[in-house]
Structure 1
Amino acid sequence: MDPADTEAIHSLWDELSDFAPDQSEAATRRLMTFWAGRDGILNATWAGAVRLTSGERAGSEDVMRRWRVAAVRSLQSHIPPPHRIWDQPESDPSFDIPLRDLGRFRSYSFRRELPEPWFDSPFYHRHYGDHGIQDAVFVAFPLNQDCESHFGFYADRSLSDAAIARFTYALRGIKWFHRHLMLSHGLTMASSPLTPTEHRVLRLLLTGAPEKRIADQLGLAVSTTHQHVVAIFRKFGVRSRAGLMSLWLNQAPRDA
């Protein structure tokens, strides 16, 4: 890889490490905007993927093999995000790619992995081609056997091997970032994903704000806010903010 690219990526890592635990949204956007316009990138997405437990119903024809997208972020809302196809997935070769080598760090792209006729298919045109997307590269980072962090970059041209190598390198060296991002959505460590309101309460909890201030900022009753805080603690298996913060410091909860 070009030394200038390596230095730029290292500087990006330094920037990301400066974001506080409650700033995961801003950090994610910074990572995405770093790539906007480079190599013809039109849009970037992040998805937190989780595997259904054995007790959860998946259906007899589950094309996602018990995996589900539990949280999503997108850089450009005016470009129809391709992740919408995951809400009601249909059988297509593009769904087979992310399910290969589960549990291992990996990257893959449409032009490298899929046959040329796929780019003439109605599925491709409906979800990608009609939106100006000619190629896409995805990087998957497993946090454990049931949880993975996926970044996708969508381009208006075929992505070169050098471009794919840059994406892969940039996302391979920041396991801590993937972990913080998943934690902020109640994934990996929580017993179930956070609701949208719990997600907003969590961000303010991590700033040290008291419950009354959180209630005022979110327009909630103090009693309702307290219920959300209790639910968050329960989902993460802790009893206090100190225990919650210890998860972001990659430690065992101090009060579990």
Structure 2
Amino acid sequence: MASKQQQIHDLWDGLAEFGPTRVNEALDHAMASLCEMIGAQQACWFGAVRLDCRDDPIDGWRACAIRYLHPHPERDAAYAEHCRRLDRGDIDPSVIANLRHAGRFRVSIQHEIVPPGWYDSEFYRNLFKPFGIRDVCYMATPVNSDMESWFGFERVGPEAPLFGETERALLEQAGPALKWFHREVALHHGLLIASKPLTPAERRLLNALFSGASEAEIAERLGLTPTTVHTYATRIYRKFGVKGRAGLSALWLGR
């Protein structure tokens, strides 16, 4: 079995092979590899963007995109409920603690940052307990002053061990070198430069635009009309502030 150090180098090298057309595949690969390294059963990625919110306890930070390694509709519903809570100003102490050092690369462990009694809170009972989540280890990477890229790694089951210094050290070693990758993920989800996050349909088309195929060929491949493809492509270019594919490609090549 490869050493942890070799696994980290294999992750770094492997992600570079995916390229801009396979960002979500690369994201799943990163989550699966890091889960294996630290003994986690589930992972998610989410992009956090700082919005213009006045008198906000977390300075306007909101999760604007999310992807689970092992998707499940109930997780999507829990995430939607979490977002509704944030918008109502119902912000859990664990969220505030995780954002205390926003702007720096950091690794935090849930059981270390939550207050006494947190595991009896409504927040835990509604958003964590139904999925058997025992502990979470978060890794946050600032991409710019108003956007962070996060991984959350979960240990599941009542007998699962808590995360500790070993897992923190591995993520602190593996994570900082991946800022270029987090930038690609943010671009792909329309969180870094786009004026608005991309919709799932627009992200699907974004991959196809990098293939070099014509709009007619993309339409046939995706089962869309050429008019729909052109409309989506125009929206994507507008969101990123470019005039066409050449400008779009330059954003990725400029990493």
Aligned to 2:220: 216
> Does 2:54 align with 1:50?
no
**What is the CA–CA distance in structure 2 between the aligned matches of 1:99 and 1:133, rounded to whole Å?**
21
For the aligned residue pairs, the C-alpha RMSD in angstroms reads 2.1
Q: Deviations over 1:198-220 (max 9, x none)?
A: 11111100121211111122222
Task: Report the AA paired with residue 110 of structure 1.
Answer: Q
The question of whether the paired residues in 2 share the 8 Å contact of 1:63 and 1:95 is answered with: no
The question of whether the paired residues in 2 share the 8 Å contact of 1:97 and 1:108 is answered with: no
Aligned-partner SS, 2:195: coil
Give the deviation of 1:174 after TM superposition.
Answer: 0.9
Aligned positions of 1:177-256 closer than 5 A: 177-250=181-254
Specify which of 58, 82, 85 is matched with residue 86 of structure 1: 82
* Alignment length (residue pairs): 244
- With 110-119 and 12-21 compared, the bigger mean Cα shift is at 110-119
**What is the CA–CA distance in structure 1 between the aligned matches of 2:169 and 2:81, rounded to whole Å?**
26
Aligned to 2:165: 161
Give the deviation of 1:115 after TM superposition.
Answer: 3.0
- Which consecutive residues of structure 2, in runs of 5 or more, have no partner in the other structure? none
Q: TM-score, normalised by structure 1?
A: 0.87
Task: Report the AA paired with residue 24 of structure 2.
Answer: E
The question of whether the paired residues in 1 share the 8 Å contact of 2:21 and 2:207 is answered with: yes
Give the deviation of 1:14 after TM superposition.
Answer: 0.6
Q: Deviations over 1:130-181 (max 9, x none)?
A: 3221110111111111111011001133102111221232221111100000
Flag the 1:133–1:79 CA change in 2: closer, same or farther, 3 A: farther
Aligned to 1:74: 68
Aligned to 2:103: 103
Q: Deviations over 1:62-85 (max 9, x none)?
A: 454322211110012249536444
- With 15-24 and 76-85 compared, the bigger mean Cα shift is at 76-85
The question of whether the paired residues in 2 share the 8 Å contact of 1:143 and 1:179 is answered with: yes
Give the deviation of 1:40 after TM superposition.
Answer: 4.1
The question of whether the paired residues in 2 share the 8 Å contact of 1:48 and 1:150 is answered with: yes
- With 62-71 and 77-86 compared, the bigger mean Cα shift is at 77-86
**What is the CA–CA distance in structure 2 between the aligned matches of 1:115 and 1:235, rounded to whole Å?**
41
Q: TM-score, normalised by structure 2?
A: 0.87
Identity among equivalent pairs (%):
39
Give the deviation of 1:118 after TM superposition.
Answer: 1.3
Aligned to 1:119: 119
The question of whether the paired residues in 2 share the 8 Å contact of 1:44 and 1:76 is answered with: yes
Give the deviation of 1:235 after TM superposition.
Answer: 1.4
**What is the CA–CA distance in structure 2 between the aligned matches of 1:101 and 1:211, rounded to whole Å?**
44
Aligned-partner SS, 1:173: helix
**What is the CA–CA distance in structure 1 between the aligned matches of 2:143 and 2:38, rounded to whole Å?**
28
Give the deviation of 1:228 after TM superposition.
Answer: 1.3
Aligned-partner SS, 1:163: helix
**What is the CA–CA distance in structure 1 between the aligned matches of 2:223 and 2:73, rounded to whole Å?**
31
Aligned-partner SS, 1:87: helix
**What is the CA–CA distance in structure 1 between the aligned matches of 2:131 and 2:97, rounded to whole Å?**
21
Give the deviation of 1:4 after TM superposition.
Answer: 2.0
Flag the 1:79–1:211 CA change in 2: closer, same or farther, 3 A: closer
The question of whether the paired residues in 2 share the 8 Å contact of 1:184 and 1:202 is answered with: yes
